[in-house]
């Protein structure tokens, strides 16, 4: 019996050492590991995109400038702090989650959606959007802000979904950092702690990403990928709803789907996928979920935000221009903000 106990103890010690070493390696080389996974777990390995065709009604040819990525350009278009508007108003606040669209890339502050919404509703508007962000990362920004200066009694939390967000949600880095929010429905603290161990969380995150890319039985790989992605997006949106409801039980949660003509910029697979997901049935399914209101910009304005509603001269001129928000915001505020 003593011999068995000794063997078990030695195995436990060896396992603990291996786990500690692996966790150390992951923590010290996280970015390299994520890059490696991204390189070898790419959707282009699973789909023959040469056979895909675009729906010309919801896509357009990109004719903008050559994209230049630099610190100077980032500061020019995304560097100005835009966290709160209308802070002197006394009504309960509105919280905005999103990316460069709601941040107002390329626009003056007074031309942005959060600013116009504050002016129209006479409510303080907290804008946790930032360039290159998404719903989950801006939600994390909101939580971090609340740790220092809690926003009290928010009446509305608004998240704007644009075409590229689904690609951001399928980044292994985001899945890893939000694993328990997206996938763990267990309230068991022990299970949560187990899935927070870096090596275990990395394995589970890789498994979830790979499941989106490869699992299911459909007529072709693109249909399989699209259907899996619809299901995953629904899971992400519902996990956001749950997190927001925990923070603000009485707040109305509004998802704005920014319907637009998607520019043919990143290649046929991504263009087709992003544009078709904007018109997916998943949004109708989410409308039926408790605690969620889903609003499509096209339903409010009656038209697609095509080139007339995008920036004319910019390194990223697919972004909505001042006219787009000038048309959309008053109609949205009148119908959805009481």
pTM of the model: 0.89
Instruction: Provide the pLDDT for residue 51.
Output: 82
Domain map of the chain by residue range? 41-336
**Beta carbons of 103 and 78 less than 8 angstroms apart:** yes
3-state secondary structure of 147: helix
- Rounded to an integer, what distance in angstroms lies between the CA atom of residue 139 and that of residue 33? 25
CA–CA separation, 330 and 335 (whole Å) = 9
pLDDT of residue 198: 87
pLDDT at 70: 73
Tell me the C-alpha distance between 212 and 228, whole Å: 5
CATH no., domain 41-336: 3.40.50.1110
- Structural element, H or E, at residue 84: strand 84-85
Say if residues 212 and 232 touch (Cβ distance below 8 Å): yes
How many C-beta atoms surround the C-beta of residue 90 within 10 A?
Answer: 7
Q: Can you list the residues of the chain whose pLDDT is less than 50?
A: 219
* Residue 326 CA to its chain's centroid (Å): 24
Structure tokens at 55: 């729906």
Does residue 272 contact residue 263 with C-beta atoms inside 8 Å? no
């Amino acid at each position: 019996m003593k011999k068995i106990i000794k063997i078990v103890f030695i195995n436990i010690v060896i396992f603990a050492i291996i786990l500690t070493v692996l966790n150390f390696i992951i923590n010290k080389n996280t970015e390299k590991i994520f890059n490696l996974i991204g390189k070898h777990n790419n959707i282009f390995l699973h789909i023959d995109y040469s056979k895909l065709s675009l729906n010309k009604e919801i896509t357009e040819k990109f004719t903008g400038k050559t994209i230049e990525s630099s610190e100077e350009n980032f500061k020019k278009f995304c560097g100005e702090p835009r966290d709160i508007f209308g802070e002197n108003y006394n009504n309960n606040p509105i919280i905005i989650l999103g990316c460069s669209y709601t941040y107002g890339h390329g626009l003056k502050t007074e031309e942005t959606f959060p600013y116009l919404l504050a002016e129209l509703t006479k409510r303080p508007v907290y804008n946790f959007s930032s360039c290159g962000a998404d719903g989950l990362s801006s939600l994390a920004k909101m939580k971090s802000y609340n740790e220092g200066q809690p926003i009290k009694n928010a009446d509305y939390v608004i998240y704007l979904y644009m075409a590229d967000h689904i690609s951001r949600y399928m980044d292994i880095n985001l899945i890893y950092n939000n694993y328990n929010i997206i996938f763990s429905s267990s309230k068991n603290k022990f299970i949560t702690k187990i899935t927070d161990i870096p090596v275990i969380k990395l394995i589970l995150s890789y498994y979830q990403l790979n499941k989106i890319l490869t699992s299911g039985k459909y007529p072709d790989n693109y249909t399989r990928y699209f259907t899996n992605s619809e299901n995953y997006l629904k899971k992400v949106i519902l996990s956001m709803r749950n997190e927001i409801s925990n923070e603000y039980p009485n707040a109305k949660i509004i998802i704005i789907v920014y319907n637009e003509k998607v520019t043919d910029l990143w290649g046929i697979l991504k263009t087709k996928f992003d544009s078709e997901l904007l018109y997916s049935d998943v949004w109708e399914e989410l409308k039926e979920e408790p605690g969620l209101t889903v609003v499509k910009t096209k339903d409010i304005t009656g038209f697609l935000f095509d080139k007339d509603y995008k920036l004319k001269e910019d390194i990223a001129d697919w972004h909505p221009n001042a006219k787009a928000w000038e048309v959309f915001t008053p109609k949205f505020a009148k119908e959805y903000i009481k």
